[in-house]
Structure 1
Amino acid sequence: MITITTTDDLNAFCTRAHAADYVTVDTEFLRERTYYSKLCLIQLALPGKDEADAVLVDPLADGLSLDPLMALFRDESVVKVFHAARQDLEIFFIDNGVIPAPLFDTQVAAMVCGFGEQVGYETLVKRIAKQSLDKSSRFTDWSRRPLSDAQKTYALADVTHLRQIYEFLARKLEQTGRDRWVAEELAVLTNPETYITRPDEAWKRIKVRSNSPRFLAVVRELARFREDMAQSRNVPRARIFKDDALVELASTKPQSLADLGRSRLLLREARRGDIAEGILTAVKQGVDTPKDDLPKPDTSRDKLQVNPALADLLRVLLKAKTESSGVASRLIAPSSDLDAIAAGLRDVAALSGWRREVFGEDALRLCEGEIALAAKGRSVEVIEL
């Protein structure tokens, strides 16, 4: 097992990779105690079976520069293959400002090819490569050195089997003409906006039961403060205070340290010092927010008049389309999209792109009474009216 610890050796491998059709990539990282992921290991493999075709790169090695790898990631002639790429891409974008392109995500491709929803790598290894994986090293501390042989073997398996999986799925997509479906799905993963966390927008991720603009203004300021502090200290958000404590603070609107001391959910360390002062300031800013600057929650779907019978028919149609196409139903249309269509909305994902071809067109025709559904044995057929 080859472990690269110098820039020269990484450059030599990447020079070979520039001449390859693709390179498979995976990472090992830690994030339990930090806001940003700490990159601990990079696994790379080229087409072929030689030992030199699959390597480990140690980003923690003194003096190692990842510039040769970033140059490879920018090379449009080499496909970069990942499985469930989002977290890996976030690391490379945050640390280096680079999103590998062109990109192929075997998890996305597998869903399009009929392997189910969010299929795991281990499942694909068993079903496509006909191999089994030893997952005993999965939750080890990847920042500790030296790495054990078991860790190295585990890490390399994440890119060596990926070669066969990629080649199988790429062929299947080409045969079925669904490669552009995958390209549509990957647009989100390759968009830099996916990996930019803006403190001003952090409040939108908080689950609340009230849509009161004044309450949401306090939530917004607390979430903004927490995000700023978590980023500056490089600690998880929950180390500042958890979501349930944030909602409690927005409800009680504490004005003093004594008020903070009465919180049921706030951690002890958040009741004093910089965090406590920041909380009180954020609450005051939320309470004093001018009326014109109050948050405006999206309530467009709150009062949808859903036709329940039509929604049920759409679910039957979706099941039929799922069976005939082999594509996971949740990937085609989640329940919220079906209800929206049944309520008359048309600006939904299930009615655009490849989803419109697979399901959306007939969904609209069903709503207009142009087609009907009929049971035939264990299947459902579409009937023209």
Structure 2
Amino acid sequence: MSVLEAVARQRVVVLALVLGLWSPAWAAEPWRAVARVATSEDRSLLERVRGQSSDLPVILEAEAGPSMDASPGGAWREAERLASRKDARAVLWFTRDAAQLRVSVAAPRTGHLFVRSARVEGAPETLTWSVGAEALALAVRSALRAVDAGEPLGDVVAPPPPPPVVAAPPDLPAAADPGVEAPVTPVDGAFFQVGVHAALDGYHSWGQQGLSVGAGWAGRVLRLRAQVLAALPVHLRDAYADIRLTQGSALAWADVPFVKTGTWEGTVGLGAGVAGFWRRTEARAPDVEPTPSRLLAAFVVGPAVRVAWRVGPALALEAALSGEVLLGRPRLGYAAEGGFVLREDGASVRPRLGVGMVIFP
């Protein structure tokens, strides 16, 4: 080889290197494409695509997972989710249908979908399989090159997503209209109450239990209510008599709030009223003469603490704990030999727990 031929060959090599360094494939910033691989054949096809696209500024990443066509939202929706999660400009996947093998390349940012099919038979890496695989790899290279140039191939299957909108800071809430009721804030007005209650009355070991109903008015700083309590009758038995005792009371309450937190409210108040006792006696021994049935009354006064949870504009759940002081409660016993033998005295102070609903019509 002459000296002139050697110099000419060196110049050709240097020119090729310069052109290669200044070509778009070297100058462009690399971007990401993701391939969903579900089978070993998909992995072999992906290697063919990598070989055909090695001159493109694309990072081709494999994502193992189920077939894209088996996604609940469809292959395109799955491609959109995959591109968003991986920050990819293109998503590709392979679909086998008998001897036909289809490759799909999606560009979610522009809404384009490129699809090509080829007849690919035989096992991977055999001669018949390689011919069809190379044809698909060349088709994918063309699609990736178009995405890199900003002109994706294929059909538009979805409009490109809109650019992100920066939300403006929320305006300060306007002053509440006095005529509009807040959905969970207690307001002035009438209400009804229904619930259950239990108290330790000293007459029976289980005390008394029953229903309570009431009505009232709720103001900003004062709660007024009238309440009626009815208890189930109890039997007080011994060897001499069976006493059936039924109790009830009617009370009036005045409460004031002492704490308000969101939908919770606590009140403390004082109540007064009348408690009624209906007694009926049956003798169990021949020498016992029962007293005729009669209704007795006692004066009741005491404090109460209530906690209410406002569930909605028309309903609240309430729990109340009160202590009732009875003045003039009945004492149950026997008259024997001109004297009185005490049997049940009852409690002068009765703790009572009540729970129920408060309805605002």
TM-score interval, smaller chain: under 0.3
Which one has more relative contact order, counting CA pairs under 8 Å at least 6 apart? 1
- Structure having the higher strand fraction is 2
- Structure having the higher helix fraction is 1
TM-score normalised by L of structure 2:
0.20
**Higher Cα radius of gyration:** 2
